[in-house]
Amino acid sequence: MPGCGHCGRPLDIIGNQVGRRDTCPHCGEEVRACRNCRHFEPSASKQCKEPFADVPSDKDSANFCEFFQIGEGGLHAKEDRAEQLSAAEALFRKR
């Protein structure tokens, strides 16, 4: 289930059906923004993994990017995965 890239809470979205004016029901931020896109990557060039995208400078506001695909929570999902990986690695560390 996709999550909001701003607050990290789950978004009830079926498929990739995100309208230009849709907002997160929890924090009110716009959903069709770079931060919620599966191509958003802070360490990538222009913070986007899609090489053909015309990337807007404002990653938090809604845009008309034709490559937009809802992601799994932007930065929050990556933080959660990093924490999970760290915990898993700790289980197998030699003492």
**3-class secondary-structure state, position 43:** coil
**Integer CA distances (angstroms), 86 to 7, 41, 79, 89, 92, in order:** 22, 20, 11, 5, 10
pTM of the model: 0.70
Residues 25-50 have pLDDT tens digits of: 999 999 999 999 999 998 898 999 99
Query: In the predicted model, what is the mean pLDDT of the chain?
Result: 83
Q: Extract the tokens encoding 91.
A: 């289980």
Q: For the chain, how many residues are written?
A: 95
